[in-house]
Amino acid sequence: MSDPNQTSGTNPEGTVPPAERGPAKPPEKDSSVTFSWGLVQVRTKKLLNLIDRLAKFSVFKKMGWVFIGITIASAAFLVWLMLDEIYVVLTASIALKCAIGAASAAVCHAHGVTSTSAPPLTALLLLPGINPYIPIVYGIVGIVVAIVVHEGMHGVIARSLKMPVKSTGLLFFLIVPIGAFVEIDEDVIQKNKFRDSGRVMAGGPGSNVIVGVVALILLLLIVGALVPARFNGVYIAQIVGPSPALNLANSGQLQAGDLVVGMNNTQIHTTQDLQSYMAGTKPNETVTISIDHQGQIQNHTVTLGTNPNNMSIGFIGIEEVSTQSLNQTRSAYANAVFTDPLIFLIVPGISSSADSVVPFSSALYTLYSSPILGAAWYPVSLTLFWIFFININLAFFNAIPLWPFDGGQALLSFLSHIGRKSIEMRAKLITEICTIVMVGLILSFVLLPRLLALV
């Protein structure tokens, strides 16, 4: 007797025979790769699984409120910084305008001031290889860290608030990693109340600020522990003239960074040794100076000039670096959080002022050593600086109320759920107006010096 529950054409276990199932569905891939115009997107579930695991920690929900405060403060600071820069450019003296490229060469020449061109527009892009001032290796490290943190925190907070994440993955330019991405449905975000959508949007800029601050703290700990390097000789920091040293420099026989190691066969080990020897010389006296240039000793016979501070003794024309001045520079930078925090926006390689105030600038780093990290302190410091600098810049720019960036989306969500119908109905219009104002402010900040230079 047949089983009444058994369907005709099935096997004894009640399942469809393999021959009658049709073609089997291929297993769902764990990752996929797409390529377009040099950009490679690698989508993977592993990152989504990591985001889901992190989202289980309730701390991220609470941190979302902190991120909102950080984002608002970041947006306000950047808007103030741009307005202040515009005001400075408009009210600056001719000397300052010439120094920042906001005056024409003819105007600067008429006032006897050297003109300087404004940095190229590519200097405003945080793209290593395109921005001429961002070192490629350190820049890529900074960008990868910034984007992974930014996108990852969007996803973590979204999942902690039960919002769906469409996909995650890594982004490459050809074979060079340039970041990560997290796709969140914008319609879902905007439909949620601001208490949720705002935390998701603020997660990116807020986490970038925190990572940037942590990198800066580590950088300052390294800088604060630096000690002046010891040289067996007198380090030449600068050559002044007219002087015998300047004549040697003009002929390619002397340069900043060389060491004075001897005077007339008298060994010079310290600044005090050189000062003691020079106290016994006279103007127009002929002496032989021994110079250590990259490990090679070179002897040069010169006629001493007259010391402008004491006309009875001879003059070489070099400025040496003292231990006291190096300690002052190091301490000033390490403690600038409380005295001059804008110093951290001075980028080595862009501003000439970095060569006198930033201990890890190309002009100063050889004058310091680290008792903890040894020679590694310099690349570690540069890595931390660029992680700080790129994270902070990415956070500030994304925080301003400019659609479609995080600040613009957060503003739209806030206006759409503010509770007043008159504002909610015009939320999109208000956001568009804010976007236009921000674009105008950015263009003024970027183009104003160049426009003034054409007038």
pLDDT-derived band at 38 (thresholds 50, 70, 90) equals: low
Residue range 115-143: average pLDDT?
76
- Please report, rounded to a whole number, the percentage of residues in the chain having pLDDT higher than 90: 28
Judged by average pLDDT, the poorest of 83-92, 175-184, 294-303, 372-381 is 175-184
- The pLDDT value given to residue 174: 67
| Highest-pLDDT range among 160-164, 271-275, 380-384 | 380-384
pLDDT of 224 above 90: yes
Domain with CATH 2.30.42.10 in the chain: 234-321
Q: Per mean pLDDT, which range of 81-90, 154-163, 337-346, 420-429 is the poorest?
A: 420-429
Higher pLDDT, 178 or 17: 178
What local confidence, expressed as pLDDT, does residue 65 receive?
A: 92
Question: Residue 194's pLDDT is what?
Answer: 85
Which residues make Cβ contacts (< 8 Å) with residue 73, sequence separation at least 6? none
pLDDT at 225: 93
Poorest-confidence range of 34-38, 407-411, 426-430, 434-438?
34-38
Least confident of 177-191, 263-277, 318-332: 177-191
pLDDT score recorded for residue 115: 74
Q: Is the pLDDT of residue 6 over 50?
A: no
SS3 of the chain: the string is CCCCCCCCCCCCCCCCCHHHCCCCCCCCCCEEEEEECCEEEEEEHHHHHHHHHHHCCCHHHHHHHHHHHHHHHHHHHHHHHHHHHHHHHHHCCHHHHHHCCCCCHHHHHHCCCCCCCCCCHHHHCCCECCECCCCHHHHHHHHHHHHHHHHHHHHHHHHHCCCCEEEEEEEEECCEEEEEEEEECHHHHHHCCHHHHHHHHHHHHHHHHHHHHHHHHHHHHHHHCCEECCCCCEEEEEECCCCHHHHHHHCCCCCCCCEEEEECCEECCCHHHHHHHHCCCCCCCEEEEEEEECCEEEEEEEECEECCCCCCCEECCEEECCHHHHHHHHHHHHCHHHHCHHHHHCCCCCCCCHHHHCCCCCCCHHHEECCCCHHHHHHHHHHHHHHHHHHHHHHHHHHCCCCCCHHHHHHHHHHHCCCCHHHHCCHHHHHHHHHHHHHHHHHHHHHHHHHHHHC
Highest mean pLDDT among 214-223, 255-264, 401-410: 214-223
CA atoms in the 13 A half-sphere facing the CB of 146: 29
Structure tokens at 10: 């099935």
At 163 the pLDDT is 87
Q: Give dist(CA 35, CA 47) in Å, integer.
A: 19
Residues 271-281: tens digit of each pLDDT: 888 989 999 99
Q: Give the CATH number of domain 234-321.
A: 2.30.42.10
Q: What is the mean pLDDT of the chain?
A: 83
Please state which of the ranges 9-13, 92-96, 99-103 shows the lowest mean pLDDT.
9-13
Residue 20 pLDDT class (50, 70, 90 cuts): very low
- Please tell me the predicted confidence (pLDDT) of residue 26: 46
Higher pLDDT, 85 or 30: 85
- pLDDT at residue 11 greater than cutoff 50: no
